[in-house]
Amino acid sequence: MLRCRAVLSDGPVFRLSGNFAGRTFPAPPRGVSPDFRAHNNKGTRAAKEGHMAQTLAQKILQRHTNEEIREAGQIVQCKVSAVLANDITAPLAIKSFRGMGASKVFDKDKVYLVMDHFTPQKDIDSANQVMVTRQFAQEMGITHYYEGGDCGVEHALLPEQGLVGPGDIVVGADSHTCTYGGVGAFATGMGSTDIAGAMALGETWLKVPPTIRVTYTGTLPRWVGGKDLMLRLIGEIGVDGALYKAIEFDGATIEALDVEGRLTIANMAIEAGGKAGLFASDDKTVEYCTAHKRPDAEKIAADPGAVYERELRFDVSDMEPVVACPHLPSNTKPVSRLKDLPVNQVVIGSCTNGRISDMRAAAEILKGRKVAKNVRCIILPATPSIWKQAMKEGLFEVFTDAGCIVGPPTCGPCLGGHMGILGDGERAIATTNRNFKGRMGSLKAEVYLSNAWVAAASAVAGVIAGPAQL
C-alpha cells in the first residue's frame, strides 16, 4: 500500500505550503494529483453517471476521492473522516509528525487518541508513553483524548461515542481498526508514520482492494454468535486468505445479527489478512448509530451487480461454537472436539468480545455456578458505559459470586500487556482476537480463542468446554 511515506523516499518530490513550508515529500503514484488542496470536505467529485457497479469498499472510497474508481488495484487519494492512535502507537506517530515539520493536526476534532492498552499505566515506560501523548493532545487541542475514567478499549469506545459511522474512512495505528466496518465504515490499520501524515494532512493514498463476498444463511444455533462465524471463515481461507482484500459480509444470517455481533466479525477481518471487513448499513445500523450519538447515520450498501474477486457461502444451521487452537486464529475446531484440555486462565473482554452482549453471555453461564479451582477468570468490560451497564444489571454480582476477577476497561492481557500474563506452560481460553505464540505472556504458553459463552463454560468446567458440555 502506498501512503504518505514522507521521509522515506528518494524518488521525485513535491513541496507543500502551510504546516509543511520548506519541506519536501515524495511524489504520489502515477494518476494521483500532488495537490492536497484539490478535495472539498466530502471528496465531492462523484463517479461519472453510468459508472460500474461498485462493491461497498469501492462505494465508500468513491465518496472520499475526486478520482473515478474504475477497478481494484487503483491507487486513489482519499480524504479521511478520522485518524486514530493509542498509547503504544501514538508516541511513534507524534515523533514522525514532528519530523515531517508539521505544526498542527488537520482537524482537532477528527484525531482520536485513546490510552487503552496499558490503562491504568502498569510501569514507568507505559506512563511515559502516555505522558508524550497527553502533552501532544494538549498542545494540539485534541477534542477526543481518552485517559483514565472515560477511557475504554478504542474499538469498542469509538462506535459507542458516535465517532465512527456509515460511509466514513477511518485510519488507525492499530490493526484492529477494521472493527468499524461493522457500522459500515471503511476502516483500516496503518503504520505510525503513515498515521502521522494523515494527522497532518487529513488525507492518505489507498489502493482500492478487491473484495471477497461472504454470505451466511440459516438461523444461528444456541451458543453460536458472530465470533464463531468469523473463526469459521478464517479456518476456511487461512490467515492470509484475504490479504489486502476487503471482506463484505451479507446473507440472511447477517441481516438477523445485531450490530455488536457485526463489530466482532469486522474486528477479526485482519486475522484473515483483510484490509477491511464491511457490512452494509441497514436499519439496525442506523438504529444503533442513532442510539449512540450519531443521528445522521445513513444506509449504504454495495451496488447490485458489483463484481467480486471471490464469493463464499456458509450455511450456519448446524454450526456449533468454534475454538481457534494455538498458535493461529485459522487453527479452528468445533468445541466438542476439544476434550480434557485444562485451562489456567480465562479472559472475557477485549475489542472483540468485551461488549455488553458478551457480559450478558458470560453471566448466563456463570450464574449460580463457580469457577473451577485453580482457574483465574478475568472479566474486563470494554468501556466505562459497558462497565456501568453490567453493574446496573447485577452482572458483577454474578461474576464475583462465581469467583471471577472484574477489572477496568483495558486491552490488558489481550496483547500480553498486564492484568493476566501467562507463565510457562499455562493455557488460556480468551474472547480476544489473536493466539500467536507469546501473545498473552510466555512463549511456552497456549492461547485458545472462543466466544463468551464457551469461555465462561470453560472457566466453570476447568477444561475447554462449551455450554452443552456442562
Scan for cell 455481533, then name that residue. Answer: 261
Residues 6 or more apart whose CB falls under 8 angstroms from that of 128 comprise: none
pLDDT at 121: 87
Nearest CA to 190 out of 298, 80, 309 is that of 80
Could you report the average pLDDT of every consecutive run of 10 residues in the chain (470 residues)? 32 34 41 35 39 92 95 95 96 96 96 93 91 96 95 96 97 96 97 95 96 97 97 96 96 97 97 97 97 94 95 97 97 95 97 97 98 97 97 98 96 89 97 94 96 98 96
- Does the bond joining 39 to the residue before it have cis omega, within 30 degrees of 0? no
pLDDT at residue 40, as a whole number: 33
For residue 460, the one-letter residue type is V
| Buried-exposed string 282-300: b where 16+ CB fall within 10 A, e elsewhere | bebbbebbeebebeebeeb
Fold of 28-34+53-319: Aconitase; domain 3 (3.30.499)
pTM given for the model:
0.88
Q: How far is CA 122 from CA 114, 117, 412, 443, 465, in A?
A: 16, 10, 10, 21, 32
Domain 322-469 fold: Aconitase; domain 3 (3.30.499)
Q: Which amino acid is at 174?
A: D
Examine domains 28-34+53-319 and 322-469 and report if their fold is the same. yes
Kindly state the cell numbers that stand for 307.
463484481
Q: Determine which helix (DSSP H) or strand (DSSP E) holds 215, and give its type and residue range.
A: strand 211-217
Instruction: Decide if 346 contacts 458 (C-beta within 8 A).
Output: yes
Three-state SS for 240-305 is CCCCCCEEEEECHHHHHCCHHHHHHHHHHHHHHCCCEEEECECHHHHHHHHHCCCCCCCCECCCCC
Q: What is the DSSP letter of 378?
A: E
How much is the pLDDT for 51?
Answer: 66
Q: How far is CA 200 from CA 88, 89, 331, in A?
A: 19, 16, 40
- Domain residues of the chain, as ranges? 28-34+53-319, 322-469
Q: Which residue has the cell 473482554?
A: 349
Q: At 148, give phi and psi (nearest 5°).
A: 75, -135
Helix (H), strand (E) at residue 96: helix 90-99
Distance between CA atoms of residues 369 and 363, nearest Å: 10
| CA-closest candidate to residue 229, choices 174, 259, 204, 266 | 266
Grid cell listed for 75: 491507487
Total H helices, total E strands in the chain? 14, 20
